[in-house]
Amino acid sequence: MSTPEGAERRVDLTKMGEGRYKATNARGGVLPVGSGDDPDFTPVELLLAALAGCGAIDIDLITGKRAEATSFDVVAEGTKIRDDQGNRLVDLRVTFDVRFPEGEAGDRAREVMPSAIEKTRDRLCTVGRTVKVGTDITYGEA
């Protein structure tokens, strides 16, 4: 396996207060992260948002070549459990509710929707593929 040039990704996390952090990406984007005691997204919610967002981007790119969606909603959900393997999410589901305009272009977008979902699930969505395939995570001190 080779790593393409520019493939490395990084997010820095800094504590802002009790149970509150800010994630900063290389482009300067900032996202508050919380423990669930405030409106900030929790890490589990961020994982669900990443699954939804990753799939949404893929599907929007594929269907958008045929017609612009008139509405585009995605729900990502799962069940948090604790068992002999520790805390984790099971039964992950990503559901797309995408509507297209009437007419030939909308028909083409509707027609490609099932294959777009298959492609994002089976090949395109980096977040979903990482969760599905799995990878080791190294934890350590700087």
Kindly report the CATH class assigned to 42-133: alpha beta
In three state form, how does the secondary structure of 45-92 look?
Answer: HHHHHHHHHHHHHHHHHHHHCCCCCCEEEEEEEEEEEEECCEEEEEEE
Contact between residue 19 and residue 35 where contact means Cβ atoms under 8 Å apart: yes
What is the per-residue pLDDT across 58-112, written as a single tens digit (0 to 9) for each?
999 999 999 999 999 999 999 999 999 999 999 999 999 999 999 999 999 999 9
Place of tokens 């099932």: 114
Q: What is the DSSP letter of 20?
A: E
Q: Give the single-character DSSP code of 35.
A: -
pLDDT of res. 72: 98
- pTM confidence score: 0.91
Distances (CA, A) of 32 to 3, 59, 71: 30, 27, 27
| pLDDT tens digit sequence for 11-61 | 999 999 999 999 999 999 999 999 999 999 999 999 999 999 999 999 999
